[in-house]
A = this chain, B = another copy of it.
Amino acid sequence: MNTFSQVPPGFRFHPTDEELVDYYLRKKVASKRIEIDFIKDVDLYKIEPWDLQELCKIGNEEQSEWYFFSHKDKKYPTGTRTNRATKAGFWKATGRDKAIYLRHSLIGMRKTLVFYKGRAPNGQKSDWIMHEYRLETNENGTPQVYICIDSNPYVIFNS
């Protein structure tokens, strides 16, 4: 049974990209209250992907995706950090960013990252995948970026 008490049994969190960006990310960035505050704040650089499972649980349900917010910090004030490193490895972008539209307007972008164990450029590719969402427009001019996610726990253990 689902014990996530504020949502009735049978409801599971399977948000669309539009919902993540237009509701959750937009509210978070604007510091507005999110109705049910189940998406945790995480410091992505201090946590390994396999430790997210426990931290980002939603009720008692089986999950194969975890959602969290994390500030994207920069290596250098003027540049962009490309290797998002943890103790055990690093996240590396893959493919092209995907544009996210709501009623034909661009509202955000989704970057896909893969986790490599070890240190760049010699890391060993894993099967952990993360999606990083960012708002396309930012009212106050600061490139404030939060990360949501999803990762695949089952596959990682094989790789």
Q: Which residues of A contact B (CB under 8 A)?
A: 1-2, 7-16, 18-20, 22-24, 34-36
9 contacts between A and B (CB under 8 A): A1-B23, A7-B11, A8-B35, A9-B15, A10-B15, A10-B16, A10-B20, A10-B24, A11-B11
Q: How far is the CA of A34 from the CA of B8 in the complex (A)?
A: 9
Shortest C-beta distance, A24 to chain B (Å), equals: 7
Q: Is the CB of B10 within 8 A of A19?
A: yes
- Docked pose: A12 CA to B12 CA in angstroms: 5
Contacts A1-B19, A1-B22, A19-B2 given; does A10 touch B13 at CB 8 Å = yes
Residues of chain B within 8 A (CB-CB) of A34 are 8
